[in-house]
Chain A
């Protein structure tokens, strides 16, 4: 079974970071078309911002990138060992050991921090989701999570989702974060914990096993990594780079037409 064949890919049942190599390929191609008069450098630090260095390096090399930028010598070796042929710049062991100025993370779907966003056609590559583990009916006034800072405004249903700050959901987004289930948005109720969050789903027909989407391209009601960054005084790059080790990365390759 090919890891890149979506038809052969089992439906995930647990935490899941789906990384769409087709989207990444298109993003790099768009950047390559714009990089007239200079090499296209893709910032692949932080394990390609949490996407996984080698699979992304292979697609970048095939899609018009000229240079990949990494920190560690071991990253250079990983790319070479995988048989990927592309220039890799490693600032940490270079003569001057100065990291390059931020080249942005447009290849992963997000704009430059201090400009007005990503070039047209750029789409986020990663979708983070997890199953609803339980749905529980509680009365008005029921508290939720540490400190009981959240109280149900009326009788409601609480959906438990196994994504917490150990998995990369920033605790600082407590009070403003939300996720999507079945194309609808639900607020996080109470403090974001290490392993889990609770969504207040009201009277919606949410069932255990339904997928809660923490972020994605933002096309089906789900937030984007940039939304989480706004909730937690951070950047989309950090949200992506800090997805934890308990979340398996799953590579898909959908046809992209734009």
Chain B
């Protein structure tokens, strides 16, 4: 074997297969559900680990008309890939330099007056149309967004800059806690109050948005003008007690690897062997799941007994099962295909499916099926 063959083998013993057909269908499911309300697909954090640009393109094909990201670097990554549709970014540094973002036509989520001032400065330096702004209101989540006592001043300053030709307030938005229906209803009521106050200040926001995946599925009153769909686009459920399939969604990511070596089993009852799989916590596999999660190999069901920095160890769980060198192993994928799910990993690691896919490391190659 040549060195390059060896390198190739090492690189491709593990792969995250990303099913872009599933992304398209999942997004289309929300477009159909929304019945005329527009859909934004959220591709922050490298598309929840799936690949931001590839997911963005599939989402647009599925009927999304907006893309959402956290920061400007993520927004510019989409533009640099040639994506021209509306992109909203809402998490900014103090004294953020918005010039490149404005020239790239990124919509800016604004949480305070300081950001309006930064935008106004950038607008004078940038070539292009006035900044397109979505004012973010904190209606109860306590993260970013303007708190209610500061809404009046924020709206007045935004209107002043709008009249000066520096910006246009295109949207007003907020984010739900999903704590319970009563809390979500209170947040919706506060957002309506904020929008009314913005209108009284002379603003005319056309795009009002609040719902992310959970509210898109459960609370039509929160849909307003736009749904922000993140986890659902990837085919995963935001609801603890409802699996993807019951929501009409299909998980897009399948994580596969290979047993590259075998060693004597620690379990004397079966004369089985344990297998070494070259994926570890350095690749994003959560070590908390060791001893608590089964995966599917060519030779049957396998218990993951240890998770180290660069590999994990699996052992057959029944006398009929085996772990042999070269066997393919599916760590997680679409449970409808009979394999372990990201939800299973989340339960085993005491977390949520979002963290399982988002933290998959950059060293695991992504392969796209479209």
Indicate with 1 or 0, residue by residue over A128-160, a CB within 8 angstroms of chain B CB atoms: 000111101110001111111010000000101
**Are A145 and B280 in contact (CB-based, < 8 A)?**
no
Q: Which residues of B contact A96 (CB under 8 A)?
A: 261
**Are B142 and A142 in contact (CB-based, < 8 A)?**
yes
Q: Which of B9, B11, B179, B288 contacts A143 (CB 8 A)?
A: B179
> With A and B bound together, what is the CA distance between A126 and B13 in angstroms?
30
Q: Which of B91-132 contact A (CB under 8 A)?
A: 91-95, 111-112, 114
**Given A133-B144, A146-B178, A148-B179, A93 and B359 contact (CB-CB distance below 8 Å):** no
Q: How many residues of A contact B (CB 8 A)?
A: 64
Closest to A75 in B: B10
**Are B263 and A144 in contact (CB-based, < 8 A)?**
no
B193 CB, min distance to chain A CBs, angstroms? 17
Main SS class of interface, A: loop
A24-32, A42-50, A217-225: which lies at the interface: A42-50
Q: Which residues of A contact B94 (CB under 8 A)?
A: 131-134, 208-209
B33 CB, min distance to chain A CBs, angstroms? 22
**Are A73 and B276 in contact (CB-based, < 8 A)?**
no
**Are B71 and A162 in contact (CB-based, < 8 A)?**
yes
**Are A97 and B261 in contact (CB-based, < 8 A)?**
yes
B305 CB, min distance to chain A CBs, angstroms? 14
A124 at the interface (CB under 8 A from B): no
Q: Which residues of B contact A198 (CB under 8 A)?
A: 142-143
A139 CB, min distance to chain B CBs, angstroms? 9
> With A and B bound together, what is the CA distance between A77 and B351 in angstroms?
36
A57-65, A176-184, A227-235, A250-258: which lies at the interface: A227-235
B321 CB, min distance to chain A CBs, angstroms? 21
Q: Which residues of B contact A72 (CB under 8 A)?
A: 7, 10-11, 278, 363
> With A and B bound together, what is the CA distance between A76 and B45 in angstroms?
29
Q: Which residues of B contact A148 (CB under 8 A)?
A: 140-141, 177, 179, 183
**Are A99 and B310 in contact (CB-based, < 8 A)?**
yes
Q: Which residues of A contact B141 (CB under 8 A)?
A: 143-146, 148
**Are B142 and A158 in contact (CB-based, < 8 A)?**
yes
A33-41, A114-122, A241-249: which lies at the interface: A241-249
A86 at the interface (CB under 8 A from B): no
Closest to B111 in A: A134
Q: Which of A134, A209, A232 contacts B112 (CB 8 A)?
A: A134
Q: Which residues of A contact B281 (CB under 8 A)?
A: 46, 234, 237-238, 241-242
**Are A166 and B310 in contact (CB-based, < 8 A)?**
no
Closest to A165 in B: B355
> With A and B bound together, what is the CA distance between A134 and B9 in angstroms?
47
Closest to B183 in A: A148
> With A and B bound together, what is the CA distance between A171 and B346 in angstroms?
11
**Are B7 and A232 in contact (CB-based, < 8 A)?**
no
Q: Which residues of A contact B300 (CB under 8 A)?
A: none
Q: How many residues of B contact A (CB 8 A)?
A: 63
Q: Which residues of A contact B156 (CB under 8 A)?
A: none
Q: Which of A71, A195, A246 contacts B311 (CB 8 A)?
A: A71
**Given A136-B147, A195-B91, A171 and B355 contact (CB-CB distance below 8 Å):** yes
**Are A241 and B6 in contact (CB-based, < 8 A)?**
no
**Given A147-B177, A194-B354, A98 and B276 contact (CB-CB distance below 8 Å):** yes
B65 at the interface (CB under 8 A from A): no
Q: Which residues of A contact B349 (CB under 8 A)?
A: 172
Q: Which among B308, B349, B363 has the greatest number of chain A C-beta atoms within 10 A?
A: B308
> With A and B bound together, what is the CA distance between A213 and B294 in angstroms?
37
**Are A195 and B179 in contact (CB-based, < 8 A)?**
no
Closest to A229 in B: B287
**Are B261 and A77 in contact (CB-based, < 8 A)?**
no
Q: Which residues of B contact A208 (CB under 8 A)?
A: 94, 114
B170 CB, min distance to chain A CBs, angstroms? 22
A102 at the interface (CB under 8 A from B): yes
> With A and B bound together, what is the CA distance between A194 and B144 in angstroms?
14
**Given A172-B288, A194-B354, A97 and B260 contact (CB-CB distance below 8 Å):** yes
> With A and B bound together, what is the CA distance between A36 and B254 in angstroms?
46
B232 at the interface (CB under 8 A from A): no
B284 at the interface (CB under 8 A from A): yes
A238 CB, min distance to chain B CBs, angstroms? 4
Closest to B238 in A: A146
**Are B7 and A73 in contact (CB-based, < 8 A)?**
yes
**Given A166-B358, A233-B288, A234-B288, A46 and B144 contact (CB-CB distance below 8 Å):** no
> With A and B bound together, what is the CA distance between A102 and B313 in angstroms?
14
Q: Which residues of B contact A189 (CB under 8 A)?
A: 142
B197 at the interface (CB under 8 A from A): no
B282 at the interface (CB under 8 A from A): yes
**Given A98-B261, A147-B179, A47 and B282 contact (CB-CB distance below 8 Å):** yes
Q: Which residues of A contact B309 (CB under 8 A)?
A: 43, 45-46, 49, 102, 237-238, 241
**Are B177 and A160 in contact (CB-based, < 8 A)?**
no
Q: Which of A43, A93, A242 contacts B361 (CB 8 A)?
A: A242
> With A and B bound together, what is the CA distance between A50 and B284 in angstroms?
11
**Are A233 and B350 in contact (CB-based, < 8 A)?**
yes
**Are B3 and A73 in contact (CB-based, < 8 A)?**
yes
Indicate with 1 or 0, residue by residue over B74-102, a CB within 8 angstroms of chain A CB atoms: 10000000000000000111110000000
User: Which 6 residue pairs of A and B lie closest in terms of their CB atoms, listed nearest first?
Assistant: A46-B282, A166-B45, A97-B261, A144-B142, A45-B310, A241-B282
Pairs across A and B, CB under 8 Å, 11 listed:
A45-B309, A71-B310, A92-B278, A98-B261, A99-B276, A164-B45, A172-B350, A195-B91, A196-B144, A198-B142, A198-B143
Which B residues fall within an 8 A CB radius of A?
A: 3, 6-7, 9-11, 13, 44-46, 48-49, 70-71, 73-74, 91-95, 111-112, 114, 138, 140-144, 147, 177-179, 183, 260-261, 263, 276, 278, 280-284, 287-288, 308-311, 325, 349-352, 354-355, 358-359, 361-363
